[in-house]
Structure 1
Amino acid sequence: MKLLKELHCVHEGINITATVSKKLLGAITGHFLIDLYTPVLPIILPFLISTMGLSYFLAGLIVTAFNVVSSVTQPFVGLYSDKTGWRASVPMCVSIGSLGICLTTFTSNYLLLLMLVMGAAVGHALFHPSAMDLVYRLSPPAKRGMYNSIFTTSGSISYSIGPFIAGSLIEFAGLPSVVWMVIPGILGAAWIYRNDLRYMDEKVFEKQAKTVINQSVDRKKFWLTPAGLVVIICSLRAWAYVGLITYLPALLTLEYQEFDTVTTSLIVTIMLFFGVGGQIAGGYFSDRFGRKLMLVLGLLCAVPLFALIFLADGWLMYFGIMMYSFFACFCYVTSVTMTQELLPGNVAFASGLILGLCMGVGGIGAAVIGWAADMMGSLSDALFLLIIPTILCPILALFVRYPERN
């Protein structure tokens, strides 16, 4: 009888592990798919500026609409998830996100374009807090930075290849061909849905998740002020990073007039892949050497590299673009994990703040930079103003009170 009980426990443990693994796989796959579509917007902006006669401000407002809707919604979704345990359907989020972005190329009506973009933003807002909460709950505290890196990297890889796919389609088949990008989103959503149906042992999963939470929550570590400071730092970082990504294609194709759409999208893709490398490195080293140290180091290294983009030419400028992306993303995963650990028991809310609110500030900043470019008559001069929030980030990071966990 004892042997049978032991075998039953082993079998039950295997079932729990399989269920958790499949749900993590669904979250990671969903993140890869849903983030494939966000960077499509900067690639199509130059065409919208030309064909619809948009100013830089109105073009930037498209990105702002996406980020603001996502940012406003995500923290509330996170709070609701923390209180009730509800999680958004990954297949539904992926479907909404992919359809909303891909259908934008079929309209010449600016208001309808904004509505489609905001609809896609709702899908993103529902997905990210729930998925990151799942990953956090199932991650060992000592390797939380690494597991967050795996999750965020899955989205960052697709975020990196999205511009090149969209740029290639536009170059060879025209702007409406971007709609074909909806295929991986719909097929992937169907696969995730089928996968969830096969592993629907929610009772086992919930038990496992709560155990992890109870072990990790330490109410004495609830430091609201430091968490708020990290959010401010991430918002300033997002302002510079989102602004550069948003307008880099327009800068290279319209103002510098040096490259075609495919080449420009390839440059953006390589830049974003450097960001992926930064995320992986940041998550690993934050586990090993401390989160605050890596946060300050990454933000500090980003300052001269950002300046290099606008003060140098040729290969040195491209070196600045790539390495700025690396270090701007180096501290991204670290900041997410820090906020989660500073707000224990409110992980989905913390994730919604960093992935939502901060990116929303970045989106608003994109519209501000577009307005500045219209006023100054130079997109490159307006973008260089982003050196100000870039410099503020490492200074503020020095004042974050953070309890390093050994």
Structure 2
Amino acid sequence: LITYMPLYYTGANITLINVGTIMLFFGMLGGAGGLFSGFLFDRFKKGSLIIQIGFVLATPILFFTFRTTGLISIILFVTGGFFLISIQPVCIRMTQDLLPGNMSLASSLILGFSPGIAAITMIFLGKAADIIGIVALINYEIILIIFTILMLFSFPLAERSLRDEKNNP
């Protein structure tokens, strides 16, 4: 998503300096979202729920980013960044809980491996965007996000099962 947005907004006649400002606010609000979700996780210990809510709220917001224009599109994109980026600290923490003896490995899976795989897929997604267009590609990606959200509903069951195994060896 972040890869396409400068192209999308420059195609909408927004200057590069303004696109840079938009990306800055996307990242800043996402960072604030990370602090907020970290606080929620520490307080309520409901990581799966926080991740699900983040995805469920980010998906329609980012979908409508491409259905609107101008300032509304920008506000939706930046707001979507809040929810999308906010789940990363919770993902790191939950991975560390799953791999308690390998905290560094757990962190590197989320902070290194995941973005690395995303970068590799960008080669193919970039070519697809050239062929079918950015908006059409985003629509297909939203289908994948919906599939991911559906998969996330199995996490609480797996989490409960792991907790039961740990308590009853």
Report the TM-score range of the alignment, normalised by the length of the smaller protein.
0.7 to 0.9
The answer to whether the 8 A contact 1:369-1:383 is kept is no
Are the equivalent residues in 2 in contact too, given 1:309–1:321 (CA < 8 A)?
Answer: yes
Shift of 1:349: 0.9
User: CA RMSD of the aligned region, Å?
Assistant: 1.6
Secondary structure in 2 aligned to 1:249? Answer: helix
1:284 paired to 2:39: yes
1:250 aligns with 2:7: yes
Residue in structure 2 matched with residue 262 of structure 1 by the alignment: 17
Q: Aligned to 1:315, which of 71, 80, 87? A: 71
Aligned to 1:38: none
Gaps of 5+ in 1: 1-243
Aligned-partner Cα distance in 2 for 1:343–1:381? 38
State the SS of the aligned residue for 1:245.
coil
User: 1:284 Cα shift?
Assistant: 0.5
Question: What is the 5 A alignment of 1:5-404?
Answer: 244-253=1-10, 255-256=11-12, 258-289=13-44, 290-376=46-132, 378-400=133-155, 401-403=158-160
Task: For 2:127, give the aligned amino acid.
Answer: W
> In the alignment, is the contact (CA less than 8 A) between 1:286 and 1:334 conserved in 2?
yes
Q: What is the alpha-carbon distance in structure 2 between the residues aligned to residue 375 and residue 279 of structure 1?
A: 35
Q: Which has the higher contact order (CA 8 A, sep 6+)?
A: 1
* Amino acid corresponding to residue 248 of structure 1 in structure 2: M
CA shift digits 1:346-370 (9 cap, x unpaired): 1111111111121122212322221
CA distance in 2, matches of 1:247, 1:396: 26
Q: How far apart are residue 390 of structure 1 and its match?
A: 1.9
1:396 CA drift (Å): 1.2
Superposed CA deviations along residues 38-97 of structure 1, whole A, max 9, x for unmatched, are: xxxxxxxxxxxxxxxxxxxxxxxxxxxxxxxxxxxxxxxxxxxxxxxxxxxxxxxxxxxx
Q: CA deviation at 1:321?
A: 0.3
Contact 1:303 1:387 in 2 (8 A): yes
Unpaired segments ≥5 residues, structure 2? 164-169
Q: Distance in 2 between matches of 1:395 and 1:288?
A: 25
Q: Partner of 1:386: helix, strand, or coil?
A: helix
Which sits farther off after the overlay, 343-352 or 307-316? 307-316
TM-score scaled by length of structure 2: 0.86
- Matched to 1:402, the amino acid is E
Given that 1:308 and 1:316 are in contact with CA atoms closer than 8 Å, whether structure 2 keeps it comes out as no
**What is the DSSP-based 3-state SS (H/G/I as helix, E as strand, rest coil) of the residue aligned with 1:385?**
helix
User: Size of the alignment, in residue pairs?
Assistant: 158
Cross-structure match for 1:234: none
The superposition leaves residues 244-303 of structure 1 with CA deviations (integer Å, 9 ceiling, x where unpaired) of 1112112222x22x1222111011111111111110111110111221221111111111
Q: Matched residues in 2 for 1:368 and 1:282: separation?
A: 32
The answer for the alignment partner of 1:131 in structure 2 is none
What SS does the corresponding residue of 2:32 show, helix, strand or coil? helix
Q: State the Cα distance separating 1:312 from its structure 2 match.
A: 1.6
- Deviation >2 Å, runs of 4+: 378-385
User: Which structure would you say has the larger Rg?
Assistant: 1
- Alpha-carbon distance in structure 1 between the residues aligned to 2:49 and 2:7: 35
